[in-house]
Amino acid sequence: MDTQELTALLDRLRAEPQETEWLEFKAGRHDPQALGEYLSALANSACLSGKTKGYLAFGIQDETHNVIGTAFNPDIEKGKGNQDLLLWLSLGLRPNVGFEAYPFIYRGRPIVLFNINAAFDRPVEFYGVAYVRVGSSKTLLSRHPDKERRIWQRRMDWSAQICERASLDDLNPDALSKARHEYVTKYPGKEADIAAWDDLTFLNKARLTIQGGITSTAILLLGRPESSALITPAVARISWILKDDRNQERDYEHFGPPFLLNVDRVLKKIRNLTFRALPSGTLFPVEIAQYDPWVIREALHNCVAHQDYSLHGRINVVETLDSLLLTNAGSFLPGDVERVIRQDAPLEIYRNPFLAEAMVNLNMIDTQGGGIKRMFLTQVKRFFPMPDYDLADPERVAVRLLGSILDERYSQLLMERSDLGLWTVILLDKVQKRIRIRKDEHKKLKAMKLVEGRYPNLFVAGRIAAVTGNKARHIRDRGLDKRYYQDMILELIQEHGPVSRKDIDNLLMDKLPEILTEKQKKDRIHNLLAELSGGLRKVKNLGTRRYSKWALFNDKKTKEQRP
């Protein structure tokens, strides 16, 4: 902040009727420990007061607000251990929400103004102890459990914070024009009114500014590229990365504000190749793009709307030959995608409610919370796999869009059965992706004759395989008759016996159903041998389980051997 901005800010602070819990004036200096405690107290009190920042000014009398000046210079002072004061203070704050110290001349006298960001969903401690202001006194936060509980429960909306150094000049004129156009598209009945609004009135109405104050939302969506510095330490960046089939990076480009325009530029970088009909010509009689543009746009807009900007991460769009992976920082607030789809209702909690509302007004997202379900429905209509959400990392949301067909039977089924509900299709999508479903879900799909196989190793029903001409794949998944495998074992022993278990494994492993894991295949072979040597009495083991030698049961030429 320059001297003019600092002067205007201090004028406003001195105009406060009295010292408040988020504002402290000091005539003299304080020792480093007390200064750190005040920063903790002001950050926590600002949160409780609904303010974005707390302030501490040296050189101002606390009762009269008279300007007396100070000899305190934070740039040369030392903290404990002879560390630079500002570094020592910064290391002591946990979480470090960020603060700034401004020495400047105000009304002809030296002043030092500290700005500290408000606590966000947890108390700010100074070297392990949290403080708070009660009236004009600083005290331990632990003595006020009600206030501590409120801080834990309170989430400041970062997207609604005013950027004090920003002005209309920091907004991109093309983005502002685009915003007006999209607002009219969203609310066509207000076209005449919108035409009469000046820029500031429009921005207030569209929920991009607050009483003329430029918000973080306005910078993200409409800001000039260089305006991203106004919202630091938050990161306003979307990175497009192209990788080859060996996962090596081939190309990349970074995009900053204005996101209202640059989301389209990101989309243009994506190579949305044409998915052509299969050689049989029975699956897709026409050509179709790998990705639906609306689905990509919705996924990317969700990244922008729900990014946790306090984590200082960027939004990534990673493109490979047959998929897009979009990631943003922050947890998935609804908890899981299934709940969003099943409830079919807008979310109750938003990380950036001000930003989300502005994006609705600018026609970037249809409704708050309904876009995810529409993404799934769009993929159903295109007969493509469902979006894959990875929520394993508590500070990262990842969604993968597949640009290829995984299982022709699944796609053919969607073509033929337009009566299937969305949740049924999602379950079938899990089956084709070899994701285990619950037993009750399996029972439902089996009753509808949509899946085959022994739980949990399921695959799309054979009827669909016959329709698509993919009978060979179906047989590989289902497996051949048990008698077939046993006859192969008997033939091997008759020709080359006695044989080891390894010999039998080598014979059958690549002939058992592909859907089985290696362990499951070996267990299946064990069961086949158990039946041949037990009830059927056709083979016998001449060795141990570990060092087995299998021979025909009635072969008198072989004797039992033990290693």
Q: Is the C-alpha dihedral spanning 522, 523, 529, 532 positive or negative?
A: negative
- How much is the CA Rg of the chain, to the nearest whole Å? 33
Residues 170, 515: Cα–Cα separation, whole Å: 57
Tokens describing residue 493: 């022993």
pLDDT value at residue 474: 53
Residues 283, 384: Cα–Cα separation, whole Å: 12
Return the SS3 of 350. coil
Query: Strand 451-454 to strand 396-402: parallel, antiparallel, or no bridges (unpaired)?
Result: unpaired
User: How many CB atoms neighbour CB 384 within 10 A?
Assistant: 25
Burial of 493 per CB tally in 10 Å (0-12, 13-18, 19+) = buried
Chain centre to alpha carbon of residue 401: 14
- Across 73-136, the runs of DSSP E, i.e. the strands, are 93-94, 99-106, 109-117, 125-126, 129-134
- Across 410-473, the runs of DSSP E, i.e. the strands, are 451-454, 457-460
Q: In the structure, how many helices (H) and strands (E) does the chain have?
A: 21, 22
Residues 542, 529: Cα–Cα separation, whole Å: 13
Return the SS3 of 76. coil
Return the SS3 of 388. strand
pLDDT value at residue 281: 44
With beta carbons less than 8 A apart as the criterion, state whether 548 and 496 touch: no
With beta carbons less than 8 A apart as the criterion, state whether 325 and 270 touch: no
Residues 533, 395: Cα–Cα separation, whole Å: 55
pLDDT value at residue 456: 85
Residues 48, 353: Cα–Cα separation, whole Å: 19
Residues 420, 380: Cα–Cα separation, whole Å: 10
563 residues of the chain, pLDDT tens digit each: 788 889 999 999 998 877 689 999 998 777 899 999 999 999 999 988 878 789 999 999 988 899 999 999 998 999 988 899 999 999 999 888 889 999 999 999 999 999 998 887 789 999 999 999 998 889 999 999 889 888 886 666 889 989 988 999 999 999 999 999 999 999 999 999 999 999 999 999 999 999 999 999 999 999 999 999 999 889 999 999 999 988 899 999 999 999 999 999 999 999 988 876 444 445 555 578 899 999 999 999 999 999 988 888 999 999 998 999 999 998 786 667 876 787 655 555 567 889 999 999 999 987 555 788 889 999 998 889 999 999 888 788 999 999 988 887 888 788 778 889 999 999 999 999 989 999 999 999 999 989 888 888 888 775 544 444 455 555 555 556 678 788 889 989 988 878 999 999 998 988 887 667 888 888 889 889 988 988 888 999 888 767 788 999 876 655 544 44
Return the SS3 of 324. strand
Domains, the chain, ranges and CATH? 3-154 (3.30.950), 408-478 (no CATH), 482-552 (1.10.10.10)
Chain centre to alpha carbon of residue 294: 19
pLDDT value at residue 245: 85
User: How many CB atoms neighbour CB 332 within 10 A?
Assistant: 19
Which among 25, 22, 74 is positioned nearest to 43, based on CA atoms?
22
pLDDT value at residue 27: 86
Tokens describing residue 18: 């009295």
User: How many CB atoms neighbour CB 193 within 10 A?
Assistant: 13
